[in-house]
Chains A and B, each alone.
Chain A
Amino acid sequence: MLQSVLLGFIFFLLAPVCGAIISGADRFLGARMQRRQGPTIVQPFYDLYKFFQKKAYIVNGLQDFLVIGHLMFVMLSGWIIYAGQDILLAVFSLTLAEMFLCLAAFSASAPYSNMSAQRELLQMTCTEPMLLLMAIGFYLHAGSFLVSDMVLGKMPAIVSCPGMFAGFLIILVIELRKSPFDVSSSHHAHQEMVKGITTDISGKLMGWVELAEWNEIFLMFTFVGLFFVCSNPWSILWAILAGAGAMFLMTLIDNTFPRVKWERMLTIVWSSTFIFAGGNLLVLMLLKG
């Protein structure tokens, strides 16, 4: 038990560093794809430092609590995965974290903040079915919802769940808030949502949101890695390579596609979830049954 608790703490060490590096690499790669020089790879650390140097305009007493709650539950979600516990619990905890961020945005009176929070809820409607089906896919593969059992399986999950993986890559675009599905937020100034869900969050609170985002990014790439990890130690290398490949793909998609309307997002994501994940699930259940 103690061992698994300590293993969970690896997430707290890895997530902020790796999340920031991934985020910085994304900006660097994106700039290179546009034939620009771009910022350095450690730019997110400068951003975070800057946020904590600025004065914060906190619009109400609740916002502070909700933003910290968001960070805490993202971290809890990561801890559950790295401690080898129940993957369903991690998915639910992540949902709760997203709810906290939505509530923080709803608590402000700014119209953009409210609109973005509504769109964030729509995004959750798109991602949640896939995340749950992914957890079920892992269960059918490993015979258990415990992450510790999944990573000690003979074969990696990708062998029996390729459809799940394809479906997950599509919602990964939403989770990382990338174009074409960055409906609730916008990384660029020319979009209509100003700064999306964080419009009314400033100063150190924005720093906490940024930190939570790094944790979330790392958690998402951990899910990518989970598809590739098995009892063979070399599989960790494959997991890291798959994560890097997925990251490159996300940056490429972000720089290639224009943003879609929410109706289109819902149609694309739900149909892909139904076809890829649903089809995969059907095949797995037929084979197992």
Chain B
Amino acid sequence: MKMSQSPWMLHYDGSSCNGCDIEVLASTTPVYDLERFGIINTGDPKHADIFLITGGINYQNRSVVQQLYSQMPDPKVVVAVGICACDGGIFKDCYNILGGVDKVIPVDVYVPGCAARPESIIDGVVRALDLLEIKRDRMRRGLSPEEQGWAIANINEGRTGKAVRKRDESVSGGNKA
């Protein structure tokens, strides 16, 4: 039995145009059906394993995102959905925008796109599940679940077998917008 067979997802909209949010909701509809992986879209950070963020970080929502992240019990993964969540996107140079989600909390999977397609969102979430297992194993060995670079290096030895990805590169195969 694997922990990643029951990932519960917390969705938070930072300051996006809502395009990605609609796509996130689209992935839970009958056409894409995220629930077939056992994924539940929960509203409670204390039950969530995957933190799915759309939109960039601004001065208003910085503390909210940090608090939601800190309320999620370990092991947990963060998925940044859409180019705004990846690095600020079209709003990057706005006076109120800090940038992508990784400015305030560590991000595990970047899903690019404007708006990100449901296929790539599901792909990103499924990649995040592998990381969830890796983090759980680290916790079992008495290590901290988070270690920069470690999880990303290991996922490539797993079933995905794609090229090595750095923190600021996309994971779901597409190019940045």
A binds B: yes
Asked if A47 and B74 make an inter-chain contact with CB atoms under 8 angstroms apart, the answer reads no
Q: How many residues of A contact B (CB 8 A)?
A: 34
| Cα distance, A53 to B36, chains bound together (Å) | 21
A35-B30, A36-B30 known; A47 and B43 CB under 8 Å?
no
Asked if B30 and A189 make an inter-chain contact with CB atoms under 8 angstroms apart, the answer reads no
Q: How would residues 1 to 45 of chain B score, 1 for a CB under 8 Å from any chain A CB and 0 otherwise?
A: 111011110010000000000000000001001011110111110
Q: How would residues 137 to 155 of chain B score, 1 for a CB under 8 Å from any chain A CB and 0 otherwise?
A: 0010000000000000000
Asked if B136 and A53 make an inter-chain contact with CB atoms under 8 angstroms apart, the answer reads yes
| Cα distance, A199 to B73, chains bound together (Å) | 13
Asked if B1 and A195 make an inter-chain contact with CB atoms under 8 angstroms apart, the answer reads no
User: Can you name 19 A-B residue pairings with CB atoms under 8 Å?
Assistant: A27-B35, A35-B30, A36-B36, A37-B33, A38-B33, A38-B35, A39-B36, A39-B37, A43-B38, A46-B2, A46-B6, A49-B1, A50-B3, A50-B7, A50-B49, A53-B3, A57-B46, A189-B11, A199-B44
Using Cβ atoms and an 8 Å threshold, which residues of chain B touch A46? 1-2, 5-6, 38
Cβ contact of A202, chosen from B35, B46, B139, cutoff 8 A: B46
Asked if A45 and B43 make an inter-chain contact with CB atoms under 8 angstroms apart, the answer reads no
| Cα distance, A35 to B30, chains bound together (Å) | 6
B residues at A contact (CB < 8 Å): 1-3, 5-8, 11, 30, 33, 35-38, 40-44, 46-47, 49, 71, 73-75, 136, 139
Using Cβ atoms and an 8 Å threshold, which residues of chain B touch A47? 6, 38
The B-contacting residues of A in range 119-175, CB under 8 angstroms, are: none
Decide yes or no whether A180 CB sits under 8 A from chain B: no
| Cα distance, A282 to B33, chains bound together (Å) | 50
Cβ contact of A34, chosen from B3, B30, B43, B73, cutoff 8 A: B30
**Majority SS at the chain A contact face:** loop
Q: How would residues 187 to 209 of chain A score, 1 for a CB under 8 Å from any chain B CB and 0 otherwise?
A: 01111001100111111001000
| Cα distance, A198 to B136, chains bound together (Å) | 23
A195-B47, A199-B46 known; A55 and B38 CB under 8 Å?
no
Asked if B1 and A45 make an inter-chain contact with CB atoms under 8 angstroms apart, the answer reads yes
Asked if B73 and A203 make an inter-chain contact with CB atoms under 8 angstroms apart, the answer reads yes
